[in-house]
Amino acid sequence: MRKFQHPLMSNNFDQSDFNPVIKLLKKKNAILTQSINVRHFEKMWSKWLGVKYSVFVNSGSSANLISLDILRHLKGKGEVIVPALTWSSDISSVIKNHMKPIFVDIDMNSLSMNDDEIIKKISKNTKGIFLTHAQGFNGLTDKLLNFIKKKKIFLIEDVCESHGAKFKNKKLGNFGDISNFSFYYAHHMSTIEGGMICTNNRKLYELARILRSHGLVREMSDNSQKQKLIKKFKNLSPNFIFLLPAYNMRNNEIGGLLGISQLKKLDKNNDIRKNNFKLFIQNLDDKKFFIDFKMEGSCNYAFPIILKTKNIKTRDKFEALMTKNSIEFRRGNAGGGNMLRQPFLKNYVKKNEFLKFKNTEHIHNFGYYI
Ligand SMILES: Cc1ncc(COP(=O)(O)O)c(C=O)c1O
């Protein structure tokens, strides 16, 4: 594997993260599967974010999948509004739940969905909006939130790339019915692999707990609800009532301990990230690069670079220059560009439909993250 002088990410762990893990591993008969450290991390995370409930899972994609499962469970099958620029699992989770993704182009200054286009694409078949706060930028506007509130539309915020970013001084992940985070190694903080589902709604929380397990009633935290179900299914062993079809998407105690340790450093690291990003943007030549980002409340884990040119040869020269200077990069920003071009969606989008998404197309061809 090629070593870069400026890699996309280097290990975000230090000895202070590993010490509690080593201590646990040295214990006789230590519990390593989901237990008290997972619960402690969930409580700390809820407090940090400002929500009532959090459910720690094994990836951000699992958080996506469970959230969409909950949406389908509550509202039935139908359409889900999604961005053309996002991560693949935001779309996979929709189609795996037999729902239809309705794509929306992004705004260049936030890399998130354009609010007017979202509102235009809402129909009687819309079951929810699955919004991605891309690369540390806030994707919400007052106009969108007022519309969602008025029409009572279910909102899921994907905050996997934007831990600690804010809208109107409130952390992203507080505005939707559910919000999702990822703790994969590449993001603001890490549990190696991991994700979080957050909500203020007790019913959604219980569903997330059931779906994180193998669909088991015993995973519920609401004892009176649990007892009702045990009574209802009296011919089943109380420990083996599989209420909903589900897979195991649990994390473990090592992930929990890493999360606790990393979270303690998150705000301080995010302050450094914010300053670095400002400095980076200030030093970009605005004749060559797009710098007009929505900076208020942003908290980026990487530097987005968007060329102003639409010339592929100039782009190729730029890529060669980055390679020569040992800068690792990803074209298409964090998610690989225009989702509608991806082969896994060939049965869901019409041929050449991707061309309608002009801003996403520009990111696809001329956008990067480093
Ligand atoms: C916006 C977004 N959603 C979801 C995910 C999936 O997270 P994970 O890699 O933990 O599965 C990512 C991953 O990078 C992401 O960027």
Residue 10: per-residue pLDDT = 85
* pLDDT tens-digit series, residues 293-328: 999 999 999 999 999 999 999 999 999 999 999 999
> Best mutation site among 58, 132, 157, 184 for ligand 1, i.e. most ligand atoms within 8 A of its Cβ?
184
> Best mutation site among 67, 87, 137 for ligand 1, i.e. most ligand atoms within 8 A of its Cβ?
87
Mean pLDDT of the chain: 97
Residue 1: per-residue pLDDT = 60
Does ligand 1 lie within 6 Å of residue 161's CB atom?
yes
Which strands sit side by side in the sheet containing 79-83, from one edge to the other?
Answer: 53-57, 195-199, 178-182, 155-158, 126-132, 79-83, 100-104
pLDDT band at 335 (very low <50, low <70, confident <90, very high): confident
* pLDDT tens-digit series, residues 244-280: 999 999 999 999 999 999 999 999 999 999 999 999 9
Residue 186: per-residue pLDDT = 82
Does ligand 1 lie within 6 Å of residue 42's CB atom?
no
Does ligand 1 lie within 6 Å of residue 366's CB atom?
no
3-class SS shares of the chain: helix, strand, coil, % to 5? 45, 15, 40
Interatomic CA distance for residues 239 and 256, integer angstroms: 24
Report the sign of the C-alpha dihedral through residues 66, 68, 71, 72, in that order. Answer: negative
Does ligand 1 lie within 6 Å of residue 89's CB atom?
yes
Does ligand 1 lie within 6 Å of residue 162's CB atom?
no
Inform me whether the pLDDT recorded for 2 exceeds 80. Answer: no
Inform me whether the pLDDT recorded for 368 exceeds 70. Answer: yes
Residue 336: per-residue pLDDT = 85
Does ligand 1 lie within 6 Å of residue 138's CB atom?
no
Does ligand 1 lie within 6 Å of residue 332's CB atom?
no
Strand partners, 80: 101, 128
Distance 237 CA to ligand 1 centre (A): 37
* pLDDT tens-digit series, residues 145-193: 999 999 999 999 999 999 999 999 999 999 999 999 999 988 999 999 9
Strand partners, 195: 57, 182
Does ligand 1 lie within 6 Å of residue 182's CB atom?
yes
Question: What is the number of residues in the chain?
Answer: 370
Half-sphere exposure of 57 (CA within 13 A, CB side): 31
Residue 159: per-residue pLDDT = 98
Inform me whether the pLDDT recorded for 360 exceeds 70. Answer: yes
Provide mean pLDDT across the span 226-253. 98
Q: Alpha-carbon dihedral of residues 260, 265, 267, 273, nearest 10 degrees?
A: -130
Residue 353: per-residue pLDDT = 97
Which strands sit side by side in the sheet containing 304-306, from one edge to the other?
Answer: 304-306, 367-369, 330-331
Distance 166 CA to ligand 1 centre (A): 19
The percent of residues above 90 in pLDDT, for the chain, comes to 96
pLDDT band at 80 (very low <50, low <70, confident <90, very high): very high
Residue 11: per-residue pLDDT = 84
Does ligand 1 lie within 6 Å of residue 191's CB atom?
no
Interatomic CA distance for residues 273 and 135, integer angstroms: 12
For residue 138, the one-letter residue type is N
Inform me whether the pLDDT recorded for 76 exceeds 90. Answer: yes
pLDDT band at 365 (very low <50, low <70, confident <90, very high): very high
Rounded to the nearest angstrom, the gap between the alpha carbon of residue 141 and the centroid of all alpha carbons in its chain is 18
Residue 12: per-residue pLDDT = 86
